[in-house]
Amino acid sequence: MKLKVTKRFKDKNKPSVIYEVGQTVSFDDEERCANLVERGLATPVEEKKASPKKTKKTSK
């Protein structure tokens, strides 16, 4: 899940990593994402799904 940082915070697993306001981050752990949102540190970012590429038909 992608999140946008709304308040500066340190990574819980790597305290040397600091997430800055406005930065977009991605975590696989849904509980962690929910916790960050609940604490007001981040907001969910709507992920855009890749649209299939259209191929041009060429006539010979």
- Residue 26: closest CA among 38, 15, 11: 11
Half-sphere exposure of 46 (CA within 13 A, CB side): 1
pLDDT reported for residue 4? 97
User: Helix, strand, or coil here: 36?
Assistant: helix
- pLDDT tens per residue, range 4-58: 999 999 998 899 999 999 999 999 999 999 999 999 999 999 877 666 666 666 6
The number of CA neighbours under 13 Å toward the Cβ of 31 is 0
**Residue 46 has what pLDDT?**
84
| The predicted structure's pLDDT at residue 48 | 72
